[in-house]
Chains A and B, each alone.
Chain A
C-alpha cells in the first residue's frame, strides 16, 4: 500500500478549501466529542476497579469512543448542502483524479490521529490514577487502552477495506 504524498497533500488542500460542507458539522463535531468524553470517563478507571462483570458492562461505553471518532471524521466522508440530502464524498470524487486507495489512506490518517493521542492520554491517566489509588498497575491498565482505543479502530478502519456509507445511513443524517 503505497502512500502518494502529492495526492495526500492535494486532498488536504481540497478539504481545507471547503470547511462547511456538512450543514450539521457543528452538531456532529460536538456530538463526537460528547461520545468520546463519556467513553474517556470510563476509560481512565483503573482495571482493578472494574474487575468481573463491571468490566464487560463498560464495554459498550468503549465502543461509543469508536463512534465518536467516526463522527469527527464525517467531514471527510459525507457532505450535505443546504437544500439536499447527505451524500457520500466518494460519489463526488468518482469522476475526479483521486485514487480511491489514497482517499481511504487520507481518511484513515484523519481517524487514527485522534485515536493515537487519546490512547496516550488514557494510558497516562489510567496509570496515574491506578498508582494513586492502588499503588500498583496491572498489565490490563496498559493493554486495554492500546487494544480498544488504538488497535481495534485501526483494524476496523484499515484503508485496505472499502467502506461506503449506505443510502439508508445517509438518509438518516
Chain B
C-alpha cells in the first residue's frame, strides 16, 4: 500500500536552522497535524515538500512517487493552502481558477464553482478584496477542483472565528469521506487539534516526533508545555 506521504530521513539546512532526520508515513483518509512553537520548522518542512529546487537529503514520496525530479507531476495532486500562496491579486476567484487551471491536467471548473458555492465563498470578488478566511476557502476550493490527493494546510485556520473553523473541518471530513486523500496541517490551536484531527506530531527545533492519536499526544504535549487545555493562540 502506498502511503499518501512518506518522508524518509529528511535533512535540510538553511542559514542557522536545519531539519533533522525527519521521517513519517501518512495514510490517506486521515487528518494529520503538526504542532510546535514558532520557528520549530513546520513551514520549512512544507517548503521542502513543495519547492522544486529545495536542497535536502533523504526522500519524499507522495502516493509512492518520488517528489524529487517529479515536481510538476506531484503538484498536480498536491493542494497547498497557506497565506504564502500566490495568486493574481486583481483577478477574481473565478478568473484565477480559469487562468491557473490551465496548468492542471484535471482541473474541474464546475467542481470549483460548486465548492465555492457550498462554502459560500465569493468567487466573483478579486483576490485582493477577499478576507483571510475567504482566501483560505478559495485556495481550498482551488485545491479540490484539481483533484488534490494530498492537502498541505499551513496555519489555514489561524485567527479564524469558531464558526469558520467548524465549517472548514466539516468540508475536510466530507472530502476525506468522498475522495482518497490525506490532509496534513499545521496549527497552534490545541483545542482544534484535540477535536478535529486524527493524528498529531510535535515538532521541536527541526525534529519531528512520531505521529500519535490526537488525544494521547495533546495530553502529553500540554503537560510538557505547562499549558492549560483549550488554550487558543
Known: A91-B86, A98-B72. A14 touches B99 (CB 8 A): yes
Residue in contact with A13 in the complex, picked from B72, B90, B102, CB distance below 8 Å = B102
What would 18 more interface pairs be, CB under 8 Å, given A13-B102, A82-B90?
A10-B103, A14-B99, A17-B99, A81-B88, A83-B89, A83-B90, A91-B86, A92-B86, A93-B103, A94-B86, A95-B80, A95-B85, A95-B86, A96-B75, A97-B71, A97-B104, A97-B105, A102-B72
Of the listed stretches B8-16, B46-54, B171-179, B219-227, name the one at the interface; the rest are far from the partner chain. Answer: B46-54
Residues of chain A in range 80-118 having any CB-CB distance to chain B below 8 Å: 81-84, 91-100, 102
Residues of chain A in range 1-47 having any CB-CB distance to chain B below 8 Å: 4, 7, 10, 13-14, 17-18
Residues of A within 8 A of B196 (CB): none
Q: Does B73 count as interface, using CB distance less than 8 angstroms?
A: yes
Main secondary structure of the interface of A (DSSP, over half): loop
Please measure, in the bound complex, the distance between the C-alpha atom of A4 and the C-alpha atom of B103, giving whole angstroms: 13
Q: Does B76 count as interface, using CB distance less than 8 angstroms?
A: yes
Q: Does B215 count as interface, using CB distance less than 8 angstroms?
A: no
Interface digits, B43-73 against A, CB 8 Å rule (1 contact, 0 not)? 0000000111100000000000000000111
Q: Does B166 count as interface, using CB distance less than 8 angstroms?
A: no
Residues of B within 8 A of A91 (CB): 86
Instruction: Decide: A100 and B53 in contact? CB cutoff 8 A.
Output: yes
| Residue of B52, B76, B105 contacting most chain A CB atoms (<10 Å) | B52
Q: How far is the CB of A13 from chain B (nearest CB, A)?
A: 5
Q: How far is the CB of A104 from chain B (nearest CB, A)?
A: 12
Q: List 23 A-B contacts (CB under 8 A).
A: A4-B72, A13-B102, A14-B99, A14-B102, A14-B103, A17-B99, A81-B88, A81-B89, A91-B86, A93-B103, A95-B85, A96-B75, A96-B103, A97-B71, A97-B72, A97-B73, A97-B74, A97-B76, A97-B105, A98-B72, A100-B53, A100-B71, A102-B72
